[in-house]
């Protein structure tokens, strides 16, 4: 049995250490998907289970707690694009209760901590847990000065300009307010506004959102506030951050003051005298849940007296005086009409369930993801089945299970297609150990071609304004663009070969065409990292593209090395170690962050003559700028003293030292007041503690990589 499947009590010490490393990485990945990309892959419940397992193992092996343990962290570091704001008071998270017993334990814990007897009356305020995104609003002398997202809890993104478009946000506080007050609350979108927004998005051929929370997050984090202004966002206030003077004695009183100042607070909140009252409110809110026009995922109970809250304080990432009592995910039963297969850029086939539209907790769901062939098999999902669908607030709707009693007799088992739905009907292949099935048509498959072109012009690649998914599809259908190079010939060939001039085509006019040609012209110069990313090589994301660009410096050097590596790999397909393959291949694998699987995908790309042709055509049309390796002068570590401690995951100690020195830093063996940064790997001991005592800046390995300009 793999360690990840074992109950905590059966884990050996070594397995526990291994599991903690896996969970830290896994939770960090999900945090990033959730907080930065608004694209979570797992449900809240599954995420909570990961965190709970991590906590349980840490409890059993307290000396194995990692410096990068999720317990020290809420959320993920902010994505780029907005200025960063350090929160004066960290924005924390809440512990969860999943049933009545958890709630009783919580109340007992609170009383024990306060040394109160169990029967002493203690008031709580119960209020719905809004499923939106939390925000910190800073007011100085009654005037709104700055608003920031939660980010990783310590540092968020400055979204002030976007927040100013919210009607619910008082720009000036009414009545008396302290000199400095930070109000915290939840920004959300109503279910009806969400439905309208998705309708409009669909009509415009733009991205539709999976749920109101993602829509709210996506809308608030628009770089252009005029877009946020068109998205109806709302706000419930429920907490505070920095405060220059006390504003109330109780949370209940604080909520009243929030309303006086002009904030909306949730109307369902109630002050409860005992656990029975708390549970009664929980049940009532749960009953009303589906008919509310906003998503909630539980009830939060908070100790009412603020002096008691202060005594109770915090444990790592959550207050001792509050808990979130979660609701189960919302479910509904409907018919699965058809399973459709979508083809992605790399040819991955994703099955999607088309459902008879059904209302799941107030949001109409017509499609659900089925992930992959194994998932369909495991749940034995068939076309025509009656199924239970679930909307867990934070993820795309999912099919939970089949209602077998309702299966019509003779319903055949679902056969995952062996041929791609694309017009070529190419064979579907599935590599050993991979969950995804792919179309083998590769470059010839028109579905993949379109997806690849969409990727090529996307924001982090060539970023051609006015050339989005909708336009690419149209140009492809009109035969104007087949390969990336065609984009750069558009203007020259416009109207040639008896083709209709673009300006005479539906949706286009002289002005828009002119603008498009200009936008394309601007992109004839591009940096090497964007260029590499735009090629859409499997597994090569932005971070790897940057790493490759920095390591090889120029398109010419990179290409030469990759072609060589591809030749070497082709000659030694069985080799299991990079050195056995050849020099160029081994050099590629020596870059930290590039493993053999990624190297193989890069080689496969360079082994394909069609790709080489595309590269050649592009070279003739665009100028690819060299990328310099980060130099000491502009590094944040120039002239600084660094100490490494613990085991680093992505590089050896000697590589780290060399890297630091190349960035102009001095590497020392022990921590002193002269140390500028301590970089802590796994199992760091006394040096990390000493750094904390001396107030020396501590960096996680990830932070160090990010600052060293190595975003692996
Ligand atoms: S109180 C110190 N009250 O839930 C604790 N949080 O899981 C401050 N949330 O980050 C949070 N509704 O985004 C509080 N009525 C409510 C809430 C609420 C939603 C969110 C908030 C927080 C998360 C914790």
Q: Which residues have a Cβ under 8 Å from the Cβ of 311 and sit 6 or more positions away?
A: 113, 114
- Tell me, in angstroms, the distance from the centre of ligand 1 to residue 94's CA: 7
Ligand 1 binding pocket includes 484 (Cβ within 6 Å): no
| Ligand 1 atom showing the smallest separation from residue 319 Cα | 2
What are the pLDDT digits (tens) for 400-451?
A: 999 999 999 999 999 999 998 888 888 888 888 778 888 887 777 889 999 9
Q: Are 604 and 568 in contact (CB under 8 A)?
A: no
More confident residue, 654 or 201: 201
- Tell me, in angstroms, the distance from the centre of ligand 1 to residue 130's CA: 8
The mean pLDDT value of the chain amounts to 89
Helix (H) or strand (E) holding 399: strand 398-402
pLDDT given at position 396: 79
* CA nearest neighbour of 306 among 259, 247, 257, 264: 247
Ligand 1 binding pocket includes 94 (Cβ within 6 Å): yes
Segment among 58-72, 171-185, 219-233, 561-575 with least mean pLDDT: 58-72
Question: Does residue 634 have a pLDDT over 70?
Answer: no
pLDDT given at position 393: 62
- Tell me, in angstroms, the distance from the centre of ligand 1 to residue 93's CA: 7
Give the number of other Cβ atoms within 10 Å of residue 79's Cβ. 15
pLDDT given at position 67: 66
pLDDT given at position 362: 83
* CA nearest neighbour of 106 among 130, 126, 134: 126
Give the number of other Cβ atoms within 10 Å of residue 491's Cβ. 16
What are the pLDDT digits (tens) for 137-156?
A: 999 999 898 999 998 888 89
Q: Give the residue whose CA is nearest to atom 21 of ligand 1.
A: 134
The whole-angstrom separation of Cα 153 and Cα 276 is 33
**Average pLDDT of 227-234?**
91
Question: Does residue 316 have a pLDDT over 90?
Answer: no
Q: Are 160 and 83 in contact (CB under 8 A)?
A: no
pLDDT given at position 707: 77
**Average pLDDT of 362-391?**
92
Q: Are 415 and 381 in contact (CB under 8 A)?
A: no
The whole-angstrom separation of Cα 100 and Cα 372 is 36
199-213, 495-509, 567-581, range with greatest mean pLDDT: 567-581
Ligand 1 binding pocket includes 239 (Cβ within 6 Å): yes
pLDDT given at position 77: 53
- Tell me, in angstroms, the distance from the centre of ligand 1 to residue 61's CA: 30
- Tell me, in angstroms, the distance from the centre of ligand 1 to residue 184's CA: 9
Question: Does residue 700 have a pLDDT over 60?
Answer: yes
Q: Which pairs with CB-CB distance under 8 Å and at least 24 residues apart come from 140-149? A: 140/179, 140/180, 141/179, 142/172, 142/173, 142/177, 143/171, 143/172, 143/173, 144/169, 144/170, 144/171, 144/172, 146/85, 148/85, 148/87, 149/78, 149/220, 149/221
pLDDT given at position 712: 44
Ligand 1 binding pocket includes 255 (Cβ within 6 Å): no
Question: Does residue 382 have a pLDDT over 50?
Answer: yes
More confident residue, 669 or 348: 348
Please count the CA atoms within 13 angstroms of the CA of 179 that sit on its side-chain side.
2
The whole-angstrom separation of Cα 12 and Cα 628 is 47
pLDDT given at position 633: 61
Question: Does residue 667 have a pLDDT over 70?
Answer: yes
pLDDT given at position 11: 93
Q: Which residues have a Cβ under 8 Å from the Cβ of 402 and sit 6 or more positions away?
A: 379, 380, 381, 382, 385, 386, 387, 388
Ligand 1 binding pocket includes 92 (Cβ within 6 Å): yes
Please provide residue 85's backbone torsions phi and psi, each rounded to the nearest 5 degrees. -125, 125
The whole-angstrom separation of Cα 462 and Cα 676 is 39
Burial 80-89 (b: 16+ CB within 10 A, else e): eebeebebee
Q: Give the residue whose CA is nearest to atom 6 of ligand 1.
A: 129
The whole-angstrom separation of Cα 468 and Cα 508 is 14
The model's pTM: 0.63
- Mutation test of ligand 1: which of 87, 94, 148 has the most ligand atoms closer than 8 Å to its C-beta? 94
More confident residue, 542 or 453: 453
Ligand 1 binding pocket includes 285 (Cβ within 6 Å): no
What are the pLDDT digits (tens) for 673-688?
A: 888 888 988 887 788 8
What are the pLDDT digits (tens) for 258-285?
A: 999 999 999 999 999 999 999 999 999 9
27-41, 121-135, 308-322, range with greatest mean pLDDT: 121-135
Question: Does residue 114 have a pLDDT over 60?
Answer: yes
165, 479, 603, 605, 698 from 581: Cα distances, Å:
58, 41, 12, 17, 40
pLDDT given at position 15: 92
pLDDT given at position 632: 58
The whole-angstrom separation of Cα 349 and Cα 361 is 30
Question: Does residue 78 have a pLDDT over 80?
Answer: no
Question: Does residue 76 have a pLDDT over 60?
Answer: no
Question: Does residue 711 have a pLDDT over 60?
Answer: no
pLDDT given at position 190: 97
| Ligand 1 atom showing the smallest separation from residue 131 Cα | 19
- Tell me, in angstroms, the distance from the centre of ligand 1 to residue 657's CA: 42
pLDDT band at residue 72, thresholds of 50, 70 and 90? low
| Ligand 1 atom showing the smallest separation from residue 266 Cα | 15
Ligand 1 binding pocket includes 393 (Cβ within 6 Å): no
* CA nearest neighbour of 385 among 399, 398, 403: 403
Q: Which residues have a Cβ under 8 Å from the Cβ of 80 and sit 6 or more positions away?
A: none
Tokens of residue 177, six digits: 């307010």
Ligand 1 binding pocket includes 309 (Cβ within 6 Å): no
**Average pLDDT of 342-354?**
90
């Amino acid at each position: 049995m793999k360690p990840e499947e074992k109950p905590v009590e059966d884990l050996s010490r070594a397995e526990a250490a291994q599991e903690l490393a896996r969970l830290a990485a896994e939770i960090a990945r999900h945090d990033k998907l959730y907080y930065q990309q608004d694209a979570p892959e797992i449900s809240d419940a599954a995420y909570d289970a990961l965190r709970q397992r991590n906590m349980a193992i840490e409890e059993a092996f307290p000396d194995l707690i990692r410096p990068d343990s999720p317990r020290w962290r809420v959320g993920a570091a902010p994505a780029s694009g907005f200025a960063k704001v350090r929160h004066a008071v960290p924005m924390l998270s809440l512990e969860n209760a999943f049933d009545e017993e958890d709630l009783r334990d919580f109340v007992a814990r609170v009383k024990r901590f306060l040394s109160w007897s169990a029967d002493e009356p203690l008031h709580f305020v119960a209020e719905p847990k809004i499923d939106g995104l939390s925000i910190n609003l800073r007011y100085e002398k009654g005037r709104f000065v700055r608003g920031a997202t939660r980010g990783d809890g310590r540092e968020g993104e400055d979204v002030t300009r976007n927040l100013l478009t919210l009607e619910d946000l008082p720009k000036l506080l009414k009545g008396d307010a302290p000199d400095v007050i930070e109000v915290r609350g939840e920004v959300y979108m109503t279910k009806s506004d969400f439905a309208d927004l998705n309708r409009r998005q669909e009509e415009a051929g733009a991205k539709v959102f999976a749920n109101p929370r993602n829509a709210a997050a996506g809308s608030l984090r628009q770089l252009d506030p005029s877009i946020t202004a068109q998205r109806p966002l709302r706000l419930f206030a429920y907490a505070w951050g920095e405060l220059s003077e006390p504003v109330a004695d109780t949370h209940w009183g604080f909520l009243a003051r929030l309303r006086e100042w002009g904030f909306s607070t949730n109307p369902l909140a109630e002050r409860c005298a005992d656990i029975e009252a708390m549970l009664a409110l929980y049940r009532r809110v749960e009953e009303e849940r589906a008919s509310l026009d906003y998503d909630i995922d539980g009830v939060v109970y908070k100790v009412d007296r603020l002096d008691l809250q202060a005594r109770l304080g915090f444990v790592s990432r959550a207050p001792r005086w509050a808990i979130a009592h979660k609701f189960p995910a919302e479910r509904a039963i409907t018919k699965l009409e058809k399973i459709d297969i979508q083809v992605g850029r790399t040819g991955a086939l994703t099955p999607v369930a088309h459902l008879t539209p059904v209302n799941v907790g107030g949001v109409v769901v017509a499609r659900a993801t089925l992930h992959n062939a194994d998932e369909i098999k495991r749940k034995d999902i068939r076309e025509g089945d009656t199924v239970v669908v679930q909307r867990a607030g934070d993820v795309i709707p999912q099919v939970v299970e089949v209602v077998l009693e309702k299966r019509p007799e003779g319903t055949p088992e679902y056969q995952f297609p062996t041929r791609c739905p694309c017009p070529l009907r190419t064979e579907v292949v599935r590599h050993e150990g991979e969950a995804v099935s792919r179309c083998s048509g590769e470059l010839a498959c028109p579905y993949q071609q379109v997806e690849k072109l969409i990727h090529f012009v996307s924001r982090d690649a060539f970023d051609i304004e006015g050339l989005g998914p909708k336009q690419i599809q149209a140009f492809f259908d009109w035969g104007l663009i087949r390969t990336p190079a065609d984009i750069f010939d558009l203007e020259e060939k416009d109207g040639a070969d008896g083709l209709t001039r673009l300006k005479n085509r539906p949706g286009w006019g002289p002005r828009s065409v002119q603008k498009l040609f200009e936008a394309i012209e601007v992109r004839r110069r591009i940096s090497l990292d964007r260029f590499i990313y735009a090629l859409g090589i499997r597994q090569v994301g932005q971070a790897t593209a940057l790493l490759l660009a920095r390591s090889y410096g120029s398109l010419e050097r990179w290409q030469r090395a990759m072609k060589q590596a591809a030749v070497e790999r082709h000659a030694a397909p069985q080799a299991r170690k990079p050195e056995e393959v050849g020099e160029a291949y081994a050099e590629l694998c020596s870059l930290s962050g590039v493993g053999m699987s990624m190297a193989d995908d890069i080689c496969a790309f360079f082994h394909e003559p069609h790709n080489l042709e595309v590269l050649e055509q592009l070279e003739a049309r665009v100028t690819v700028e060299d990328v310099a390796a980060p130099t000491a002068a502009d590094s944040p570590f120039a002239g600084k003293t660094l100490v490494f401690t613990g085991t680093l995951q992505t590089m050896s100690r000697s590589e780290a030292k060399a890297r630091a020195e190349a960035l102009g830093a001095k590497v020392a063996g022990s921590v002193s007041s002269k140390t500028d940064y301590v970089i802590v790997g796994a199992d760091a001991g006394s040096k990390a503690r000493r750094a904390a005592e001396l107030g020396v800046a501590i960096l996680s390995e990830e932070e160090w990589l990010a600052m060293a300009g190595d975003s692996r």
